Structure 1
Amino acid sequence: MGKDYEPAVFEKKWQERWQESGIWKADAQTGKPKFFLMFAYPGTSGFLHVGHMRGYTYSDVITRYKRMTGYNVLFPVGTHASGNLCQTFARKVERNDQSTIELLTESGASSEEIEKLKEPAYVAEFLSQVYINEYWKKFGFLADWDRFITTIDTGYKKFIQWQFRKLHARGMLTQKPYYGTACMECGPVAVDASETDISQGGNAEKQEWILLKFKMDDEFLMAATLRPETVFGQTNFWANPDVEYVKARVNGEVWIISPQCAEKLSFQKNSVEIIGKIGGKNLIGRTVMAPVIDREIPVLPSRFTDPDFGTGLVTSVPSDAPYDWIALQDLTNDPETCRKFGLDPEMVRNIEPIPIIESKGWGPNPAAEICRKMGITDQNDPKLEEATKEIYKAGFHTGRMRENCGQFAGKPVATAKDEVKAMMLEMGVADVMYDLSEPVICRCGAKVIMKLIPDQWFIDYGHPEVTEIAKAHVPKMNIQPQTYKDNLPGALDWFKERACVRMGNWLGTPFPFDERWTIEPISDSTLYSAYYIVSGAVNQGILDPEKLNDAFFDHIFLGNGSPDEVSKVTGINAKVIAGLRKDFKYWYPLNINLGGKEHQTVHFPVFLLNHAAILPDNMPKGLFVHWWISGKAGKMSKSKGGAEPIPDAASTYTVDGLRLYYCHISSPHVDVEWDPASVYNSRKSVERAWYFAGELLEMQGGGEKPIDAWLESQFHINVHKASSMMDDIKLREAANIIYFDIVNDLKWYLRRGGNNSELLRKAINAWIRMMAPFTPHMAEELWEMAENADMVSASRYPDTSEFNIDEKALEIEEYLESVLADISGILKMTGMIPKRICLYTAYQWKYEVQRMMAQEGKDMGAVMKHAQLVPELKSKSKEISAFASRLMKDMKRFGDGGIPVNEQNEELEALRAAIDLFGKEFSCEVSVFSGDEPDLYDPSNKRNVASPGKPGIHVE
């Protein structure tokens, strides 16, 4: 091929051409089908990495295909600047964080820009431009850049305030006290799998700890438990002798707790005052009065009690808690430690578990049972956590309280748990503390805790009508993967009240009913697909964002009022208003919302619920969930490092190579570990396609041959299969056809002596168009080389009508491929280097029997009876019976379609026409014989074993 593969040159050239052409612009066109896709916009928290580009690339591939199949495409993009993302980045710049400054400098930021990045609002502007110009445009995306939004734009804020007034009118906004997650520096943050506000702990769950009060003189040792129903089995109390506890005055009582617990409580109680300290070793040997059971129990030493976990003190229930059982065994078997703390070893030995729960599959002391079963012998065994979960699960789901549990005897554990808690709180022998199930770190680096917010605002997603609208719509949607579609109704049921505003120095939309609050980042990102309809007019200066009010949005999105009426109250031109209403009716509803798997539990459910509440007549049509590109240690993270920067990867692997990698490496619905070797293979696949297509385009002349009909037929099939896969968003399957199956077909055509340059040009033109959605830069360059006038991105995707299909040609080539494979198998098995290969078709009578079997089906008697009527077959009853039995097995293999019917003369003709192919393939002389030829050369009787469609093969 004359032209070298120069990906960097092609990328720059075609990205400029696409931008100049305006092919990315989306304008409503009456009568033309539309396709509207958006991806979940990224938070402006820093530079993106190669993991992010997976889903974004899917979006561009899908929309390019839709554009080429006749759809009018709207593919807008934006960024999510709400919350504390930009503040966190700005703080790093302000304190001259070395890694951040180096990254900015390497990315081309000037010293003036770096200085401006100390302002959060500029961070949003700066990073938005990086995402557009350095990532999305340089990946060849044809997004509608005119409609770009950030969530701190004036117009966007007006839209979100309208949305919240609609939710309020729906009766979905409520206010009440709430224990929420908050950064100790930044204030309230959201903790969920998307990690919008946080850098660690997205899977943490809110836990309600019951604080049990153990009276000791005039003070209380406080033990935290998640299982209040187990108080009936208390035998002793655990304190860590290495921990220095504090005495805290809480609501008029003196509590002994860990310092960490006191700090947490200070955010949840009206008053927490530290009045003293006491060492854990000074608690050992004391006795305390256990609540509910009103019995004194001893305080014993144990180092499994963690000061950062609960209160740092634990009540012991060795019957049902494996940690307690093992700790008690350790101490029982260590009289020296007992004496060290002034404990009577005999007293410790006399402590026995008190059975309190009957669980299916377990005896009276399940903790002891499971420790023996799992071979757990000391407190440091990591299997203790698994054992604890198993016993708790069995007890909660199958357990009932035993007769020694007072008024709760016989009740299911699941019921008793809440009832015991309520009783203890009413008696005043317990309190409540909230905590997180694992450490959570804010993006600023500070710890996230649970905090009481006395007047928190919520969106009530438990609204029955809204939930039912959303659930009823799910079956009508195109949701991938299917497992998510199956699980989504349950997720919608689960959503109830969700905190929607925060106080503090946040970027975002002021809450319209109390502007001291700012709407939090998840709540302001649930309906924004609708705002894309008007954002273009705002960005181009056609709309003044300050004039956008409820009357405007009510008309555009709900059809309320008339353009003239809205014009009077907004000052916006009535024709502009009418045009935007027309645009909304054209583009909406959204066809696909695409996002990562972290959005399954939060963003996607509330996206549907907000549409159900405000736009029930325009519910979204589809959701597409993709999984992650992970690093060696798990999910890639721009905040945690370890992720390859996008420009570096694009330079190393090429943009088209990366695009093909994302689409072909696996199903979109599984995690993929970033592997440079695999990415490089994708680059090489693109490069090989470039050179191969170029060579074929340069071929000249060549007449028509029988193999031409096969190539036409294969392209008909491949276009049909690839189109079907693309329609179903099976990108991996489509890419496999386009970059591998088609290449193999073209190579087979050349091997078979095909050289029709006119047909090849027709095939290559179709192939280039099929590659265009995946590897558009290479495709455009090839399209231009093929002397096409327009851009391939603006051309029509191939249609099956462009290629004729010849079933007989397909059968012949399939037959020849199978013969080649059989010969190769023989040579591999024998290790022979052939000098001559002889091929023999079956006897003609076998073809006759095959035809009878196709007619009579599995009725062997009918076949034999039919054979007796044919003079040439009457004398071969025994042979026919044996042959027909073999064919019967083939019928099972071919299924309902029945066995194929072959003709001897066609096989003979096909084999003789392929003598040159076989000769070149195996570098030897090749002879072809009919099984019925008299006195033919057949030294190993191979014609006797030949069957229709499977010639006998003799090698020498």
Structure 2
Amino acid sequence: MATEGAKSFARRDKLLEIESKVRVWWDEKDVFKAEPGEKPPQPGEKFFGNFPFPYMNGFLHLGHAFSLSKLEFAAAYHRLRGANVLLPFAFHCTGMPIKASADKLAREIQIFGDPPVFPHEVVEEEPISKEESDSNKGANVVPDKFKGKKSKAASKSSGQMFQWEIMRSFGLSDSDISKFQNPYEWLKFFPPLAVEDLKAFGLGCDWRRSFVTTDMNPFFDSFVKWQMRKLKSMGKIVKDMRYTIYSPLDGQPCADHDRATGEGVQPQEYTIIKMEVVPPFPAKMGVLEGKKVFLAAATLRPETMYGQTNCWVLPDGKYGAFEINDTEVFILTERAALNLAYQKLSCVPDKPTCLVELTGYDLIGLPVRSPLSFNEIIYALPMLTILTDKGTGIVTSVPSDAPDDYMALHDLKAKPAFRAKFGVKDEWVPFEIVPIIDIPEFGDRAAEKVCLDLKIKSQNEKDKLAEAKRLVYLRGFTEGIMTVGEYAGRKVQEAKPLIRTKLIETGQAIIYSEPEKKVMSRSGDECVVALTDQWYITYGEPEWKKLSEECLSNMNLYSDETRHGFEHTLGWLNQWACSRSFGLGTRIPWDEEFLVESLSDSTIYMAYYTGAHLLQNGDMYGKSAVLVKPAHMTDDVWEFLFCGGPYPKSSDIASSVLNKMKQEFEYWYPFDLRVSGKDLIQNHLTFCIYNHTAIMSKDHWPRGFRCNGHIMLNSEKMSKSTGNFRTLRQAIEEFSADATRFSLADAGDGVDDANFVFETANTAILRLTKEIAWMEEILAAESSLSTGPPSTYADRVFENEINIAIKMTEKNYQDYMFREALKTGFYDLQTARDEYRFSCGNGGMNRDLVWRFMDVQTRLITPFCPHYSEFVWRELLKKDSFVVKAGWPTADSPDLKLKSANKYLQDSIVLMRKLLNKQILGSKANSTVTPILLHQKVK
């Protein structure tokens, strides 16, 4: 008996023992091996479900298991009711995280030795040289040199563990860790461990079809190359200059899966207004004499530039004068200058050139000439609420239509002491606003009106100003009419692009882009927006988008929120950078300098599952092929298999093998369900729709996506840093597989975050083992049970409850509402059984009804607790078949009147007990309590 302190783990260990035994039974008979039928399947006869392959830079955790459980439960239900089920599983290794971690490990070995001797204390020294940095491009490099001097520990001061320490946490010895400098060692190590964990979990998977991505698997590599060539031949991959989120350290675009933070963040495009500083320049800016110097103000509203009265700077803000080209200098923040440098707007490519460092105080009072302003000269004035991590740190001021500007100007006008504090001369302050837009109900001084209506007193009232901006900006854009300028009388939404285009064409403004929010790459690098010349997939192209919308309209998405998420993504998704220069993956076949980006090799791979076992001979790396060689997989073969292309007559593959692969695809496709976290709606899942509509015929388009939220542990966010974290392996060791699955089923079904509760898992251990003990007790005393057809009132009630459980649980499984299925198929049925026992006593229970209960209960819980159910089915109920394929139990139509009558009776019994208890407790010594018969068996 396993114990820990005073706590016994005998019950959990019994479940673990059962699970080990049951998996041997399954393996012996290849229970989850999926073979296609001879004829095309009729609706409901087959079920093909799949799951986005997880990334293999660590162990699978409960977050993976939660999403996967939704697929596993669905597949298990369909298998149980008799469908032919295919559930395959593969492992994603494409992209930069593995390569970055391998390079980080190499860097640590370079600095600290092999095995490394980490200093107890470290001190920051000079930065790594450019040559060292370039030699480790893309690695999660240690940012400083360490020399063992007294300071904080390196791993603590950086907020991250050394990679070597992380590898130790995986259970690797120091003698093995250095091998992981080679990224391909990760591909050999983690996928087999994931298979072990998923088998221990009880995943009903056809493991013959598993594979790893990247060129390590030559068959999958060929599949991706064919897919890319096909898209290019269709005009859906083009080379273009585009703004994209970019990691300067990695030297390549940073797609969602390459990011540590900022997934889903897109480039935000601004217009930079070139506000020319009027000479002579202040002494600190003397080095700029002879150059055209501009305050570079980023705006989203170029149409409002007619109303400029001044511009704003942050007094304590750090600025610089950056050389944009041979003649022009922009004054802005270093962050904005870095973005511009990667957008081809710097004298030195990809590197800002600062001619002089400045602060906001240096800029206050600068006279500038600004495009479209009715005032020939306006001045730079102080504003205390400017954010230097957004835009350029220079802000145009249009107080007629911007509440922030109106209130900041109000503060300057009304507070002489405030002006004096920052050295603002009275003549710099504009005392009249310039009306430019007429808005119904708001007039032509909208900012002023809304600020007065909301009783805003100061520029520091952020919440009120946010509401004011929402009102003015929305109404101004949708209903506003320009009252000045070339486009007076035109709607703002019509004039806006025309004014912007003219400003850019006349050289008075430029396009500028930056990330909507902060994005950090997995290499620890803050990303910029770069203008890159590379390969793009043309998502968003009108005709292609229309096909994708048609596909979506015919899919089952199981929630309105999920559908809205897809519709929103289809609305904004545009060209997607599909090439990378760093990481692992498949080479772009026509431009082998680049790799296929990690989300672009993952769009139709579900089709690859259908023939993977025939290609790879059950080897996930594709190295043990027998029937087919990688070189045999030409584009003609892939076209024949997946696109209805002609039979490849010149193929070296035996016709029987080709036809078998074709049969597999035609039988299993389209897939019926793909389960994923909802965060993949904005990229991978929408890409999946797009690529299926481009490459495959309509009858092979996806049928369903089911999306869920994240998983919390005990109502708190799952986090390694706080210790509130469990790998799948840890959860199984702690609770057993079936108790883990039970708690996952109970965690929640919607798209909101779910909650895995440890107490639920522990309760499952107790309930499952107690149920086994009860069944063993009943079976041992079977002769004491009553015989003959169920006849008593209690028999009829219990039989009716069983029928209700079967019907309701079936509906819940069909709707993929697994928490409800657990309630109706286990909790409610247990309650009905306990009530039946209480009514009859063990000896009074009907033998046939008890056997029916044990049969039905076992089947209904099989998708959640398959090991437990299989053990009960074979060892206790002595069935020859496997419960996972036992068929759904039949049921008569429930008698709802009988259910209502019994509820009334049970409620009455509870009430009578309460009344009796109250009377007993409240009675005096000489009072007499009228006996009430509470437990009489009702016939």
TM-score by length of 2: 0.82
Q: Does 1:15 align with 2:27?
A: no
Report the Cα offset of residue 683 of structure 1.
4.6
2:111 equivalent in structure 1:
none
Q: Deviations over 1:182-206 (max 9, x none)?
A: 1111133444xxx411011124231
Distance (whole Å) between structure 2 residues aligned to residue 584 and residue 372 of structure 1: 67
1:725 equivalent in structure 2:
812
Q: Of the candidates 229, 235, 260, which is equivalent to residue 165 of structure 1?
A: 229
Against the structure 1 CA distance between its residues 493 and 106, is the aligned structure 2 distance closer, same or farther, given a 3 Å change threshold? Answer: closer
Report the Cα offset of residue 208 of structure 1.
0.8
Q: Does 1:256 align with 2:323?
A: no
Against the structure 1 CA distance between its residues 816 and 451, is the aligned structure 2 distance closer, same or farther, given a 3 Å change threshold? Answer: closer
Q: Deviations over 1:526-572 (max 9, x none)?
A: 10011112221232123222331101111111342336x1xx34x22
Q: Of the candidates 142, 145, 154, which is equivalent to residue 204 of structure 2?
A: 142
Distance (whole Å) between structure 1 residues aligned to residue 882 and residue 703 of structure 2: 29
Q: Deviations over 1:208-232 (max 9, x none)?
A: 1111111113421111111111212
Structure 2: 5+ residue stretches without partners: 1-9, 109-154, 156-160, 280-291, 348-352, 618-624, 922-930
Equivalent AA in structure 1 for residue 479 of structure 2? G
1:772 equivalent in structure 2:
862
Report the Cα offset of residue 811 of structure 1.
4.4
Q: Of the candidates 328, 333, 348, which is equivalent to residue 409 of structure 2?
A: 328
Equivalent AA in structure 2 for residue 110 of structure 1? S
1:751 equivalent in structure 2:
838
Residue pair 1:559, 1:581 contacting (<8 A) in 2 also: no
Equivalent AA in structure 2 for residue 627 of structure 1? G
Distance (whole Å) between structure 2 residues aligned to residue 365 and residue 825 of structure 1: 69
Against the structure 1 CA distance between its residues 777 and 27, is the aligned structure 2 distance closer, same or farther, given a 3 Å change threshold? Answer: same
Q: Does 1:59 align with 2:71?
A: yes
Residue pair 2:264, 2:682 contacting (<8 A) in 1 also: no
Equivalent AA in structure 2 for residue 818 of structure 1? Y
Report the Cα offset of residue 103 of structure 1.
4.3
Q: Does 1:825 align with 2:902?
A: no
Against the structure 1 CA distance between its residues 737 and 319, is the aligned structure 2 distance closer, same or farther, given a 3 Å change threshold? Answer: same
Work out which structure has the larger RCO, using CA pairs closer than 8 Å and 6 or more positions apart in sequence: 2
Report the Cα offset of residue 805 of structure 1.
6.0
Against the structure 1 CA distance between its residues 926 and 787, is the aligned structure 2 distance closer, same or farther, given a 3 Å change threshold? Answer: closer
Q: Deviations over 1:892-927 (max 9, x none)?
A: xxxxxxxxxxxxxxxxxxxxxxxx9x8344xxx999
SS in 2 for 1:78: coil
Report the Cα offset of residue 465 of structure 1.
4.2
Distance (whole Å) between structure 2 residues aligned to residue 359 and residue 686 of structure 1: 68
Distance (whole Å) between structure 2 residues aligned to residue 232 and residue 201 of structure 1: 35
Distance (whole Å) between structure 2 residues aligned to residue 364 and residue 829 of structure 1: 74
Residue pair 1:235, 1:353 contacting (<8 A) in 2 also: yes
Report the Cα offset of residue 333 of structure 1.
4.2
Distance (whole Å) between structure 1 residues aligned to residue 824 and residue 692 of structure 2: 38
2:261 equivalent in structure 1:
200
Q: Does 1:550 align with 2:635?
A: yes
Question: What is the correspondence of 1:312-323 to structure 2 with a 5 Å cutoff?
Answer: 312-323=393-404
Equivalent AA in structure 2 for residue 782 of structure 1? V
Q: Which has the larger radius of gyration?
A: 1
Q: Deviations over 1:286-329 (max 9, x none)?
A: 21112112521111122333333222211112232233233223
Residue pair 1:685, 1:739 contacting (<8 A) in 2 also: no
Distance (whole Å) between structure 2 residues aligned to residue 684 and residue 386 of structure 1: 54
Q: Which range is displaced more, 684-693 or 409-418?
A: 684-693
SS in 2 for 1:248: strand
Report the Cα offset of residue 378 of structure 1.
4.3
* RMSD of Structure 2 on Structure 1 (CA): 3.1
Question: What is the correspondence of 1:116-195 to structure 2 with a 5 Å cutoff?
Answer: 116-134=179-197, 136-152=198-214, 153-191=217-255, 195=256
Residue pair 1:49, 1:638 contacting (<8 A) in 2 also: no
Distance (whole Å) between structure 1 residues aligned to residue 565 and residue 516 of structure 2: 24
Q: Does 1:735 align with 2:735?
A: no
1:662 equivalent in structure 2:
744
Residue pair 1:699, 1:757 contacting (<8 A) in 2 also: no
Distance (whole Å) between structure 2 residues aligned to residue 102 and residue 286 of structure 1: 54
Residue pair 2:272, 2:512 contacting (<8 A) in 1 also: yes
Report the Cα offset of residue 615 of structure 1.
0.7
Distance (whole Å) between structure 2 residues aligned to residue 72 and residue 742 of structure 1: 28
1:76 equivalent in structure 2:
88
Against the structure 1 CA distance between its residues 360 and 419, is the aligned structure 2 distance closer, same or farther, given a 3 Å change threshold? Answer: same
Q: Of the candidates 290, 293, 306, which is equivalent to residue 370 of structure 2?
A: 290
1:847 equivalent in structure 2:
none
Residue pair 2:672, 2:703 contacting (<8 A) in 1 also: yes
Q: Of the candidates 523, 527, 531, which is equivalent to residue 604 of structure 2?
A: 527
1:607 equivalent in structure 2:
688
Against the structure 1 CA distance between its residues 687 and 383, is the aligned structure 2 distance closer, same or farther, given a 3 Å change threshold? Answer: farther
Report the Cα offset of residue 4 of structure 1.
5.2
Against the structure 1 CA distance between its residues 94 and 681, is the aligned structure 2 distance closer, same or farther, given a 3 Å change threshold? Answer: farther
Report the Cα offset of residue 476 of structure 1.
3.1
Distance (whole Å) between structure 2 residues aligned to residue 36 and residue 424 of structure 1: 55
Question: What is the correspondence of 1:507-656 to structure 2 with a 5 Å cutoff?
Answer: 507-540=584-617, 541=625, 542-562=627-647, 565=649, 568-569=650-651, 571-616=652-697, 617-630=699-712, 636=718, 643-656=725-738
TM-score by length of 1: 0.81
Distance (whole Å) between structure 1 residues aligned to residue 380 and residue 409 of structure 2: 12
Report the Cα offset of residue 483 of structure 1.
3.9
SS in 2 for 1:644: coil
Against the structure 1 CA distance between its residues 599 and 685, is the aligned structure 2 distance closer, same or farther, given a 3 Å change threshold? Answer: farther
Distance (whole Å) between structure 1 residues aligned to residue 235 and residue 527 of structure 2: 31
1:672 equivalent in structure 2:
754
Residue pair 1:696, 1:761 contacting (<8 A) in 2 also: no
1:470 equivalent in structure 2:
548
Structure 1: 5+ residue stretches without partners: 836-915, 929-956
Equivalent AA in structure 2 for residue 258 of structure 1? T
Q: Does 1:919 align with 2:933?
A: yes
Against the structure 1 CA distance between its residues 414 and 826, is the aligned structure 2 distance closer, same or farther, given a 3 Å change threshold? Answer: farther
Q: Deviations over 1:639-667 (max 9, x none)?
A: 99853333333333332222122222322
Distance (whole Å) between structure 2 residues aligned to residue 27 and residue 401 of structure 1: 66
2:137 equivalent in structure 1:
none
Distance (whole Å) between structure 1 residues aligned to residue 675 and residue 444 of structure 2: 52
Distance (whole Å) between structure 2 residues aligned to residue 309 and residue 676 of structure 1: 43
Residue pair 2:826, 2:857 contacting (<8 A) in 1 also: no
Against the structure 1 CA distance between its residues 654 and 92, is the aligned structure 2 distance closer, same or farther, given a 3 Å change threshold? Answer: farther
2:434 equivalent in structure 1:
354
Residue pair 2:673, 2:703 contacting (<8 A) in 1 also: yes
Q: Deviations over 1:757-815 (max 9, x none)?
A: 34312320221121111011221222233142446444413321xx55684xx745642
Distance (whole Å) between structure 2 residues aligned to residue 605 and residue 533 of structure 1: 22
Equivalent AA in structure 2 for residue 919 of structure 1? L
Distance (whole Å) between structure 1 residues aligned to residue 740 and residue 642 of structure 2: 38
1:109 equivalent in structure 2:
172
Size of the alignment, in residue pairs? 827
2:3 equivalent in structure 1:
none
SS in 2 for 1:833: helix
